[in-house]
Amino acid sequence: MARRILVVEDNDLNRKLFCDVLKANGHEVVPVADGNNVLATARKFSPDLVIMDIQLPGVSGVDLIAEIKRDGELAKVPVLAVTAYAGKGDEERIRGAGAEDYLAKPVSIGPFMAAVRRLVGE
């Protein structure tokens, strides 16, 4: 069954890769490059999963995850966080904001799709 997945990623190549892989696996995907548009887009799209880059210009992915989890319409949507800058304590901070799973970049397709399947209940 196709799931609706919101991909929040400011890097054009990463965003295209994530979207292409998800579409090839039968999912409906909406890409978002600007973190400031995440909540409005998520409310409009009603995703089954949000894939969230943590390092976004002008806004923190961790803060966006916390906002999603505080939003009545979006709170139950699982979040898969991805980041290139995984420092000590980052995973705990990201999970503490509400992310259900976490992957460090560079992301390999196998573990990426395994995490997606787990989070959307496939």
Structural Rg of the chain based on CA atoms: 13
Q: Enumerate residues 6+ apart whose C-beta is below 8 A from 95.
A: 102
- pTM, full prediction: 0.95
Tell me the pLDDT band of 80, cut-offs 50, 70 and 90: very high
Q: Is the pLDDT of residue 85 over 80?
A: no
What local confidence, expressed as pLDDT, does residue 38 receive? 96
Residue with tokens 């939003």: 71
Residue with tokens 């090839």: 24
Which segment of 1-5, 31-35, 111-115 scores lowest on mean pLDDT? Answer: 1-5
What is the rounded average pLDDT for all residues in the chain? 94
Residue with tokens 């909540």: 39
Q: Are 94 and 66 spatial neighbours (Cβ–Cβ below 8 Å)? A: no
Which residues is 103 bridged to in the sheet?
82
What local confidence, expressed as pLDDT, does residue 45 receive? 96
Q: Which domains are assigned to the chain? A: 4-120 (3.40.50.2300)
Torsion of CA 86, 88, 90, 96, to 10 degrees: 150
pLDDT tens per residue across span 86-113 = 677 888 899 999 999 999 988 999 999 9
What local confidence, expressed as pLDDT, does residue 86 receive? 66
Pairwise CA distance, residues 81 & 53, whole Å = 6
